[in-house]
Amino acid sequence: MKRKKIVLCSIGIFLIILSAVSFFVFGKKKIYLTLNGTNTVEVNYDETYKEDGFKAEYCNKYMKIFCKDITDKVKVETEKVSNKKDNITYDIQYNNEEEIKNRVIEYKDLEEPVITLVDNNTFTCPNKDYVEEGYSAIDNVDGDITDKVIVTKENDKVIYSVEDSSGNKKVVIREIKYKDTTPPNISLSGGENTYVYINQNYNELGYNVSDNCDENVFVTTDSNIDTSKTGNYEITYNAIDSSGNKKSVKRKVTVYDDTSQIPKNGRIVYITFDDGPGPYTKQILDILDRYNIKVTFFVTHQFSNYEYLIKEEYEKGHAIAVHTYTHRYENVYSSVDSYINDFNMMNDVIFNQTGIRTKLFRFPGGSSNKIKSAAKGVVTEIANKMTELGYTYFDWNVDSNDVSSKSSTTIYNNVVKGINANKNSVVLMHDINKLNIESIEMIINYGLNNGFTFLPLTESSPTAHHHINN
């Protein structure tokens, strides 16, 4: 019995203690205020903070059980500390309890710059360095920061990196596209059609070749030309670059035995040579003969050792005309009689070589010359007197400028420009100029290839007179 009372007493005491503990543990409550995210939030300076959320619960003080959601009781207030910082206060009061928490919003430049690459959709030559196509860099705060971009090349890549004033970095990579799909450019010098007199050698007029990638382009030619037979032939020029791209052009070569077989463009060229014959006249005659071209020689007695060539000029069908005997301006322009005397002396030389006297002549320096030593009005008087005597003088409307030019190409270019500007061209050249050995052949080739007709002067030819200044 006694033992039973002790047990009952113990149980009672335990229940009292348990009840006291339960009241102490479960009877007291508190507010639990929780912020989603972090207490310090970084937001891009031009954006607005979007609330991450929060929750308020009223629960047991010692164990978060038996909770009641009281989030709607929370008061949220935002205080703007500066343009770079906001302070948000979360405050809840419930059943004489209060809980306060804070969140700091820091506004910073968090946006990285934007790098834009110019892409022309082109390829870089396999044997050349990449040529920058262009790029730009724009930052939301700093604006245009293209000048801050650092460009580096690694193998087949170009790396563009930039950092703004807030430390935001951006890196963009360009893949270099190495490829060459463009064929070479090849064009023919002298045109697509050329003419060769039968049994004469074909002289290659040449070509110009260039390539977008290669400095030197390999060119081969295929030809079936036989200059011993009249007819149409063809030369094929094949250009190939180091990437295997090919381009071909063709030139038509006509072997003829009659100049009437050459198409004409209606323009006539009268080539004239002054001051000879001289040491280079024979070579010029051979070139003219090779193309069966006839010209006019205004001859002098300056180089008496070569006077025999006047006969050859005449026999080959060229026109022979007087330039002067002495070619001394101070003598021929001293008076009308002095000029006529000099003229007759040269015409006698021509007669001795050819058996004929010419009616054609050219004033030394042209009729427009301004020779200081000349008698006043003498050129006008000479022109009138010689015309009265039945002679015809010729000036020129195309000056080769071979006296002052330093290359055959320059002379050629001067003549080509001139004959393209006139329907009838009287061209001034000098057969005592060595450069004309090369330039005359270039001029003939151009003329034949472009339909010009070459003729010697006659009394009825255009005289191309200048204005007489004396």
Per residue in 424-437, pLDDT tens? 999 999 999 999 99
- What pLDDT score does 12 carry? 64
- What pLDDT score does 301 carry? 96
> What CATH class does 263-454 carry?
alpha beta
The whole-model pTM stands at 0.51
Comparison of pLDDT for 215 and 246, the residue scoring more: 246
| Mean pLDDT value of segment 169-189 | 92
| Mean pLDDT value of segment 43-66 | 92
Give the model's confidence band at 359: pLDDT under 50 very low, under 70 low, under 90 confident, else very high: very high
Domain residue limits, the chain: 28-108, 114-175, 185-259, 263-454
Is the per-residue pLDDT at 280 higher than 60? yes
- Stated as kind and residue range, the H or E segment containing 251 is strand 246-256
| Mean pLDDT value of segment 157-161 | 95
Q: What share of the chain in percent tops pLDDT 70?
A: 93
Residue 265 C-alpha from the chain's centroid: 33
Is the per-residue pLDDT at 158 higher than 90? yes
Q: 185-259: which CATH architecture?
A: Sandwich (2.60)
Mean per-residue pLDDT over the chain, rounded? 90
Is the per-residue pLDDT at 255 higher than 90? no
Q: Are 397 and 406 in contact (CB under 8 A)?
A: no
Tally the residues of the chain.
Answer: 470
Residue 369, helix vs strand vs coil: coil
Buried b (16+ CB within 10 A) or exposed e, 112-131: bbebeeeeeeeebbeeeeee
- What pLDDT score does 296 carry? 98
For domain 28-108, give the fold. Answer: Immunoglobulin-like (2.60.40)
- What pLDDT score does 378 carry? 92
To 5 degrees, how large is the angle CA 169–CA 173–CA 175? 175
What are residue 34's DSSP bridge partners?
55
d(CA 56, CA 99) in angstroms, rounded, equals 9
- Asked which of 99-113, 145-159, 176-190, 383-397 is least confident by mean pLDDT, the reply is 176-190
DSSP-assigned letters across all residues of 106-143: EEE--PPPEEEE------B-TTSPPPP--EEEEETTTE
For domain 114-175, give the fold. Answer: Immunoglobulin-like (2.60.40)
Rg (C-alpha) for the chain, rounded Å, is 52
| Mean pLDDT value of segment 250-278 | 84
Is the per-residue pLDDT at 79 higher than 70? yes
- Stated as kind and residue range, the H or E segment containing 93 is strand 85-94
Is the per-residue pLDDT at 195 higher than 90? no
Burial class (CB in 10 A: 0-12, 13-18, 19+), 255: buried
Is the per-residue pLDDT at 227 higher than 80? yes
- Stated as kind and residue range, the H or E segment containing 313 is helix 308-315
d(CA 58, CA 67) in angstroms, rounded, equals 5
Q: Are 125 and 178 in contact (CB under 8 A)?
A: yes
Is the per-residue pLDDT at 461 higher than 70? yes
Is the per-residue pLDDT at 121 higher than 90? no
Is the per-residue pLDDT at 28 higher than 80? yes
Is the per-residue pLDDT at 26 higher than 70? no
In the DSSP assignment, the letter for residue 89 is E
Identify the sign of the CA torsion 139, 142, 144, 145: negative
**Among 397, 361, 369, 391, CA closest to 270:** 397
Task: Please check whether the two domains, 185-259 and 263-454, share a CATH topology.
Answer: no
